[in-house]
Chains A and B, each alone.
Chain A
Amino acid sequence: MIMAAIKLSENTKKALIIFFLIFIILFVLIGYISLAIEGVVKRQGSKADEMLSNVVKAEIFDKESKLIKFGIRKNARVFYLESRIPFIILLISWGAYLIFCLFSGKWGYNPLNKVDGFGTLLFEFSPWPKESFFGLKLISGWPSVISKPHFEVSALFSYFFVPVNLVGIVWFLLYVQAYIARSFRIRKIARSVFRKKLITDEPASLTDNK
């Protein structure tokens, strides 16, 4: 009844269809990206199998908690050895930032600012223009460009600092993700190893009782 009362024009229908298509494509894309990330996480987690294979085969530990503790200790070492390079990159970039601040005297310098920072390489737009229409403020046009990307000599430091820092952070976060993946995998392996043992022991004890 309500649907029948709402009459949509052809243009509105087209707009709605396009909107729904974009909506679906966007979520499907996010779904596929998450699947890809899951694959990467699984691959990263498989390193935990290599880490624990010897001690599990040799049956060094008799308790699940001991195996988990061992895994955590080893995982921390692997993480430290892996993430040294991005950490050094970050350390160098922040050291350079401190030296820059020391020599320029600009303490609290924001490397992303739009005057003498990385922001000079980005577009800057004005707010959306709005006009009142029957008491409602509606968007009436496209925002204008305030600033186009341009080179600033005073922002030279930020042109090096921001990309290097970004690379270091992303690289470090990838190893953090790998660390998390291995942590989960270690717990899963420990649980499966000791649960399996319990199941294999069960029939033997039952037959012994008979």
Chain B
Amino acid sequence: MLAFLKVFLRGIVVTLLLPIILLVLAVYGVYCIFLFVFMFFKGVIEYFQGKSFSTDLPEDSEARRQLLEQELTEQRAKEMLNVMYQNHMAQQQFLNQQPQKEDEIEYLKPKPEPEQGSILEPQGETPDDNGGY
């Protein structure tokens, strides 16, 4: 009922404002005729300048260029992130494939150093303190 009343009141308001609405439309109609003629001559001038008359303005092409650049940058960043993520995952996978306990890991140990003179000394007999055998 409220919606119906709203539509009814709207009808009354529109009827009261109808002369103004029609006046605005008529004024704009006349303005648009002049606008059309102006745009026609502008189109003719642009045609002879070798440009095509379209709705695209220089600002539009600039905006499209910027958006494309932005998109490319985002795409590159995404690709970079993707590569980094894949590298990280591959590293993780490699490490996970060889699970080893701390005590099972064979660390490389330095070889024991030979005692001094052991290589020069003969293997069978060893000299005594006095130098005799």
Contacts and interface: CB of A to CB of B under 8 A. Distances in A.
Interface of A: 24, 26-35, 51, 54-55, 57-58, 60-61, 70, 73-74, 76-81, 83, 87, 172-173, 175-177, 179-180
Contacts of B70: 58
Contact of A34 (B10, B54, B66): B10
A28 B8 contact: yes
Contacts, number: 95
Interface in B32-80: 32, 35-36, 39-40, 43, 53-55, 57, 59-60, 62-64, 66-67, 70
A80 to B, nearest CB: 4
Given A33-B14, A73-B57, 10 more contacts: A31-B6, A32-B11, A34-B11, A58-B70, A70-B57, A74-B60, A81-B54, A173-B29, A176-B32, A179-B32
A172 B59 CA distance: 29
Given A70-B57, A80-B35, A180-B28, A35 B64 contact: no
A29 B66 CA distance: 50
A37 to B, nearest CB: 9
A30 B57 CA distance: 41
Given A54-B67, A55-B60, A81-B55, A27 B8 contact: yes
B4 interface: yes
Given A24-B8, A30-B14, A80-B35, A74 B29 contact: no
Given A78-B55, A176-B28, A54 B63 contact: yes
Interface residues of B, number: 32
Given A173-B25, A176-B25, A176-B28, A30 B39 contact: no
Q: Which of B10, B54, B70 has the most CB of A within 10 A?
A: B10
Contacts of B59: 55, 60-61, 70
Interface of B: 4, 6-12, 14-15, 24-25, 28-29, 32, 35-36, 39-40, 43, 53-55, 57, 59-60, 62-64, 66-67, 70
B45 to A, nearest CB: 13
A83 B15 CA distance: 29
A81 to B, nearest CB: 7
15 contacts: A28-B4, A28-B7, A31-B11, A34-B14, A57-B67, A58-B64, A60-B62, A74-B60, A79-B32, A80-B39, A83-B32, A87-B36, A176-B25, A176-B28, A176-B32
B55 A27 contact: no
Contacts of B6: 31
Contacts of B7: 28, 31-32, 35
A55 B56 CA distance: 11
A26 B36 CA distance: 37
Given A26-B11, A28-B7, A31-B11, A58 B63 contact: yes
B60 A76 contact: no
